[in-house]
Amino acid sequence: MTALPKRQQNRILRERRILDAALKVFSEKGFVSASMDDIAAEAGLTKPTLYQYFPSKDELFTAMMSQERDHMLESFEYPSASGMVAELYAFSWHYADVVLRPDLLNLARLIIGEAQRLPDVGRAYQASGPDRVLAGMMTYLERQRTAGRLVFDDAELAAEDLWGLILSAPRNKALHIPDAVPDRATIERYIRNGLGVFLRAYSTASEKDLAVLSSLKPPPATETE
C-alpha cells in the first residue's frame, strides 16, 4: 500500500486533533456555550486555521459526531469471516465503549439540557449521531435478512430492539447518575442477555447462533478503562 504524501498525513492528523479538541470543549461547555475560539485554543491552532478545516461550529459538531458514529459502526462496515453473531457482539462492544465514555455521557447530558430552549441543538445531535447509527444498523440487518439469517417485517423496529436490548438500561442510569457507569462485567451481562433475546426473536437459526454467542469472549479493556 502506497503511503500518503506527508502533507496529506499532516492534514489528517490535524483534523483528528481538531475533532478531539471539539469533543472535549463541547462535552465541557455544551453546544451553545462552546466557541470556535475555545476549540482552536484546545487544538493549539489559530482560529483562521480552524476555519480552513471547518467553516462553522455546526459543521464541526457534525464531523465530531460522525467520527464517533463511524467507530460504533466499524463492525458492520467491515464484515469479518467470523459471521453475524460475532459482528453483532463486536458492534455491541464498540457501541458500549463509545456511549459510556465520560465525555460523551456529559455531552449527552448537556445537549438534553439545551434542547428545550434550543430544539435545533437537540435535532443536530440526533441527526448527526443516533439517527445515523440507527440507519447503519438498519442497513446491516437488512443485509442479514436478505442473506436469510434474520427474519423481520420492519428494519427500523428490529434495529431499535437491538439498540434497546444491549445497553439502554445501564446507559440511562449513567446519564442520570454520573458515578454509576457500569463496569465491564455488567456491560458484558447486558450485551450477552440483550443479544440472546434479539437472536431468539429474529434469527432463523437461533439455537446455532446462541451457541456461537456463548463461545465469544469480551474484548480486552482499553487503556482508559
| Predicted model pTM | 0.81
Mean pLDDT of the chain: 88
- Give the relative orientation of helices 119-128 and 130-146 as an angle to the nearest 10 degrees: 30
pLDDT level of residue 4 (50, 70, 90 thresholds)? low
Q: Which residue has the cell 454467542?
A: 213
What tens digit of pLDDT does each residue of 93-105 get?
Answer: 999 988 898 888 8
Task: Give the number of other Cβ atoms within 10 Å of residue 25's Cβ.
Answer: 24
Cα separations (Å) of 205 from 6, 88, 100, 162, 168?
Answer: 50, 15, 31, 17, 26
Question: What pLDDT does 222 receive?
Answer: 66
The grid coordinates of residue 21 equal: 479538541
What tens digit of pLDDT does each residue of 22-48 get?
Answer: 989 998 998 888 999 999 999 999 999
Cα separations (Å) of 216 from 93, 157, 159?
Answer: 12, 26, 22
Listed residue (46, 78, 69) closest to 18, CA to CA? 46
Q: What whole-number distance in Å separates Cα of residue 53 and Cα of residue 46?
A: 11
Domains by residue range for the chain, with CATH: 64-215 (1.10.357.10)
Q: What whole-number distance in Å separates Cα of residue 214 and Cα of residue 225?
A: 24
